[in-house]
């Protein structure tokens, strides 16, 4: 099925080219951008700054929206999981996480959206439910952008932070992800500032190097989870292509070029990567450049019927978790503890795989397309 010509696939420079090809003046592109991203119009007919004949032409040439909301689930902690249908009948999930800290008015100080970048994922990380879906395709730029716009429209509040940590490996859809970043950060009052956007990678080194060379303004997080090549190879097959030395060298290169600190993500598994020696090795690895470590509880993915090493992964005990944190702190590591927001609706880290949406037509269609 041919991908529709989605309007939100285009950054401002690319949209200028499109508008010029239609025989219109280039300044119309900025008017469209302002209407869509600053004034949040929902269709071309609402762009009052454009003459009617141009609006008619836009309706003929472009598709305004790229995703359709099918279902919203809300956790007891306020986390929301959104199921979106795509143009080809496939689906993705997006998560909205409100912070526990609130303003004087009682609203969350931060609203963080966890955005997907692929339909499924090819990396087969053993702790991640999305791996069970395999890769179907990359998301178009518009399908990435519309996740933020649709969620923001649904909640009626401004999203303050964005993380590329949903379904898929962002570095394997690099161009579309960075085009989305350009759109998010456009204008004097952007949808998001670049310092409020984080890209998390399992360690795709060409993408890390490219971010460094392009001096990408967003933050970089590394999904690490192991301090030896043997274990990392077992739970993250991409490590067979890029080992820890190569990854560390790429991170040093990134820091030299950007002078931006790194965030490491580390899921604690019982009796697998939670020893004192693991903590010491992790501290040594992170000292190569200024960094912090997000320690993450392992979240259940039994609903994917895991096999092999995935079936043996269990969360570290509370005592082991606290001990590991203390060991890192004693080794001068800046540590943050990632909450399990949305775990009761399978929206926590590593759980995105349509577990609670099997009755929806969109998911049935998605399953049929995998056959």
Which residue numbers are catalytic? Answer: 93, 349
Name the nearest CA neighbour of 151 among 84, 88, 205, 219.
84
User: Do 298 and 314 form a contact (C-beta atoms < 8 A)?
Assistant: yes
The enclosing H or E element of 114 equals strand 111-114
Task: Categorise residue 346: left if φ over 0, alpha if ψ from -120 to 50, beta otherwise.
Answer: left
Per-position b or e across 211-244, b if 16+ CB within 10 A of its CB: bbeeebebbbbbbbbbbeeebbbbbbbbbeebeb
Please provide the distance, in angstroms rounded to a whole number, between the alpha carbons at the two ends of the chain. Answer: 16
Six-digit token string for 232: 């990392």
- Beta strand 262-268 with 67-74: parallel, antiparallel or unpaired? unpaired
Q: Could you identify the residue written with the tokens 């903590």? A: 279
Residues 215, 258: contact at Cβ < 8 Å? yes
Which of 47, 45, 17, 43 is closest to 32 using CA atoms? 47
HSE-CB of 348 using CA atoms within 13 angstroms? 20
**CA distances from residue 62 to 25, 36, 67, 142, 343 in whole angstroms, order as listed:** 17, 13, 14, 12, 38
In angstroms, the CA 65 to CA 48 distance is: 18
* Neighbour count for residue 102 (Cβ, 10 Å): 12
**In the numeric block, which tokens belong to residue 26?**
């280039």
- ∠ CA 329-334-337, rounded to 5°: 90
């Amino acid at each position: 099925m041919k991908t529709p010509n989605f309007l939100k696939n285009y950054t401002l420079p690319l949209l200028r080219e499109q508008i010029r090809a239609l025989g219109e003046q280039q300044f119309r592109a900025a008017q469209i951008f302002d209407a869509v991203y600053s004034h949040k119009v929902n269709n071309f007919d609402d762009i009052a700054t454009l003459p009617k004949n141009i609006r008619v032409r836009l309706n003929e040439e472009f598709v305004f929206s790229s995703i359709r909301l099918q279902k919203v689930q809300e956790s007891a902690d306020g986390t929301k999981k959104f199921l979106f249908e795509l143009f080809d009948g496939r689906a993705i999930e997006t998560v909205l996480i409100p912070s526990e800290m609130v303003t004087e008015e009682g609203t969350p100080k931060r609203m963080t959206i966890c955005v997907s970048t692929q339909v499924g994922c090819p990396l087969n990380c053993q702790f991640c439910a999305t791996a069970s879906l395999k890769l179907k395709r990359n998301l178009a730029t518009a399908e990435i952008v519309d996740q933020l716009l649709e969620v923001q429209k649904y909640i009626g509040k401004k999203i303050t932070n964005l993380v590329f940590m949903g379904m898929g490996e962002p570095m394997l859809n690099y161009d579309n992800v960075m085009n989305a970043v350009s759109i998010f950060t456009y204008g004097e009052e952007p949808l998001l500032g670049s310092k409020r956007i984080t890209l998390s990678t399992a360690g795709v080194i060409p993408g890390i190097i490219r971010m460094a060379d392009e001096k990408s303004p967003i933050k970089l997080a590394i999904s690490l989870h192991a301090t030896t090549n043997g274990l990392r190879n077992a739970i993250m097959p991409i490590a067979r292509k890029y080992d820890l030395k190569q990854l560390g060298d790429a991170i040093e290169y990134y820091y030299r070029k950007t002078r931006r600190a790194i965030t490491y993500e580390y899921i604690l598994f019982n009796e697998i990567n939670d020893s004192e020696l693991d903590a010491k090795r992790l501290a040594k690895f992170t000292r190569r450049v200024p960094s912090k470590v997000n320690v993450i509880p392992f979240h259940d993915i039994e609903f994917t019927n895991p096999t092999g090493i995935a079936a043996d992964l269990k969360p570290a005990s509370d005592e082991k978790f606290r001990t590991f944190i203390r060991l890192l702190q004693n080794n001068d590591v800046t540590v943050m503890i990632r909450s399990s927001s949305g775990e009761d609706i399978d929206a926590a880290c590593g759980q995105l795989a349509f577990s609670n949406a099997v009755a929806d037509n969109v998911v049935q269609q998605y399953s049929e397309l995998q056959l």
